[in-house]
Amino acid sequence: MIRAAVLDLDGTLIGRDEKVSARVVAAVGQLCQLIPVSIATGREADHAASYARQLGLSTPQICDGGAAILNPDTEESLWTAPLDPMLARKIVSSLHSNGTAFIATHPEGSVETISDVGDINFIRVSALDMDEVVADRVAAQFGGETDLHLVKVFLPYNGLWAVDFTKLGVDKAAGTRKLAEMIGVDIQDMVAAGDSYNDLPLLKVCGLAIAMGDAPQEIKAEADYVAPPVEEDGLAVAIEEFVLPRV
């Protein structure tokens, strides 16, 4: 029996236009009347909260690749897993030196320029808007860091790539474990849906997994159900055909 759901944002709830389709809104709305529903996104808190409010979700939401959980109504941080401050500054300085766009988030917001970094304790740093070759190079540069989790992420809204950096052991699965504790649900009674490499730990840790139809084969291999692509309202189909009968 499914007792909670965790849904990726980009490529799952929304496509390139960054909008939730009417059919997906309706399906998620039906589901959240029955069980807690949370977004799990690599984006920052205000993005997660905005989409959660649009969908009528009141459950705590997961953002920053699993490094933070927030109250969607107030955007208050309920839990965070900060990066090592010196390591975060090292990453940001390297990205700045290479001319790579970045966003570094903290519980009160985010910064995108080196002059704003200061002494802030960050929970996530993302290198943004790279072609895949450059993204692989950035990931390799920091692959030897022992206190760092990094993952390459496709950005469906512009067709480019990002590399997300969080504390070692902190990913969407870690955030979902903490969420499960907060809402009093066994993680094996949760269903997850996603489409990209940063969703892989999430799909592995939950009891049931949904992969979107245009996900890489490695993602589909972990799925109990493969939905149509996001452009075909795949998440709505998955909720209607796979999730609701199991709630």
- Whether 119 shows a pLDDT value over 90: the answer reads no
Average pLDDT of the residues in 145-157: 90
Average pLDDT of the residues in 146-165: 92
Could you give the CA distance from residue 36 to residue 55 in angstroms, rounded to a whole number? 12
Average pLDDT of the residues in 44-68: 96
pLDDT of res. 120: 87
Q: Where in the chain are the domains?
A: 4-80+170-246, 85-167
Average pLDDT of the residues in 78-103: 95
pLDDT of res. 108: 87
- Percentage of residues of the chain with pLDDT beyond 90: 91
**Which residue type, as a one-letter code, is found at position 57?**
L
| 73 pLDDT tier (thresholds 50, 70, 90) | very high
CATH fold of 4-80+170-246: Rossmann fold (3.40.50)
Structure tokens at 43: 């984006």
pLDDT of res. 83: 96
Beta-carbon contacts of residue 63 (< 8 Å; ≥ 6 apart) = 39, 40, 41, 42, 43, 44, 45, 47, 48, 69, 70
pLDDT of res. 118: 83
What pLDDT digit, counting tens, does each position of 3-52 carry? 999 999 999 999 999 999 999 999 999 999 999 999 999 999 999 999 99
pLDDT of res. 21: 98
Q: Which listed CATH number (1.10.3470, 3.30.70, 3.30.1240, 2.40.50) goes with 85-167? A: 3.30.1240
pTM over 0.75: yes
More reliable by pLDDT, 191 or 157: 191
pLDDT, averaged across the chain: 96
